[in-house]
Structure 1
Amino acid sequence: MAASPSSPSPRRRTQLAAVIAAAVAVVLVAAAALAVRELRQRGEDGVSVGGVPVAGPPSSSPSGSAGCDSSTQGDLRFDTEMTGADGEAVPYSVSLPADYYTACRTYPVLYALHGRDQSNATFLPEAERLRAAVEAGALRDVVIVTPDSNEDGRWEGAYDTHFIDDLIPHVESTYRVEPGAAQRLLVGWSMGGHGAFRFGVEHPADFAAVWSVDGAMSREPQSYLEFLSGVEAERPQVRLVGGDLNGDRVEQVVDLFAQQGVDFPYQREPLGHDFKLFVEADQQADWTTLRWMDSQLGRQL
């Protein structure tokens, strides 16, 4: 039977169906792309980076138990980012206490700085080794945050600004943490050990306690003396440990400040260049350093 003049032919119907299907596909792809972009802007796309889920900050109120919904759940560890005052992305990773979503309380913050060729994401599992001190009762439960220094940024320049001026205020306004310098701990490993020491002497009133671990200190140790006047005024609580690789460089810096009348507690350990080894050494010493750091929380700065 011939097709009615007012009805599309079978071939025409097939073509129309294909056009409609293509149009629907374009709309769906565009909608999905928009959704992913919006989720990524909130850091909630669920992608895994270095085995850690990418997620956004918890939706619960950062202001203590008031307004905290204990039924809210979320990832306890994730990679995310915020935008700095200069418009640049500032990546960081977070490890939350196990009871973060149920206890509705606030926590101190432990910032951990990675070494060369690492990132905030790759160093987070290393920083989480410090939770063993929490389990042992040597350190109160903390929110662990690992900032990023672009693998070899030496924690200077933009990476100084992003950490001190951008990330710290962001963390204290986004998560349920105790605000203020008296509730901040800083640990740095290798290049981050240099960074932790540098932040400790450059910003001596910004952290309750600092632990520099086998720091890859500046080849020009005199450069740290730029911050001597602030150190003399504030007397920051900084401890250093050196190992087989960087021990000599650390000792140079410690001796240099000692000549200026500023003594930083320092220990030399016969250990290879592995953050895990230094954490284990402190554990074997009944968490001497982590207990000291905990004792500094809440002190008047």
Structure 2
Amino acid sequence: MEEINETSKIQFFFHPLSADPKVQLVISAAFLVMYLTSLSGNATAAVIVQVNRALHTPMYFFLANLAVLEIFYSSTVAPLALVNLLTMGRIPISLSGCGTQMFFFVFLGCADCILLGIMAYDRFVAIRDPLRYTLIMRWQLCAQLATGALVLGFLLALQLTALIFHLPFCGHNRITHFYCDVLPILRLACGDTRMPEAMIFIVSVITLTIPFSLISISYIFIVAAILKIRSAEGRHKAFSTCSSHLTVVLLQYGCCSLIYLRPSSSYNPEMGRVVSVVYTFVTPVLNPLIYSMRNKELKDALNRVMKRHLLC
């Protein structure tokens, strides 16, 4: 009982991004703008796909799922980060609160990365075998793939969070980050961290290395198939569709790999905070922008909806 009481009293404080309150205010304003842009952009993309029957295809089904995931993913990090930026890290977070945030961050982040890999497979089938595309990517399979990404992300996050927060925490309680990320929290533990570090590596391989390898292989076949298309318009449309997905993939996987696919002992808190801004704030903003700018059908659907509302 004494150990439980002591654990319940543990609190963490976030390290300010800057010692200057004015700089903190500017950073928080930038984060707020990116967060609101991410919410509105991803919500718009998801609603447009839902209300437009012409977009009820596997490709846009996965895009809508990605948009919804990004909304929850951003909301896991942004509100608490904004509060701590404005208060200069003076408001503590409990051990259970930190564990909850880490769980949802890892859960939604893993599901996001796996879903990007599934979207690469969808584009591969669409370009490689267009005549049998609807037969292969039937709705039952699409639903199973999307659900599988969530279930796998949930299980990996549950195991990793349980391993980390099973460790004892003592002494230093200031997190050198703006949210409860895996590696900064692990640095505060005073027990044996070999098991959690091994689990971090396993999760990184499953959600980063394997999907990125599959995406790379898929794009080799995709490019070969696109080059066989005779019409310039057809090649341009295919490249346009795939380039938007590839841009998101490089941003997401590249930044995450810099942090998690390396030994925990080499983790640099300063670099970690800067790079994590990309995949927690920048990428959720870019996802709907990249897909809408590079996708004619989505732009046309958005324009039709806007014109309809303006006429009403």
Q: TM-score range by the shorter chain?
A: under 0.3
Considering fraction of residues, name the structure with more helix.
2
Question: 1 or 2 for the larger relative contact order (CA 8 Å, sep ≥6)?
Answer: 2
Q: Please give the TM-score of this superposition, normalised by the length of structure 2.
A: 0.26
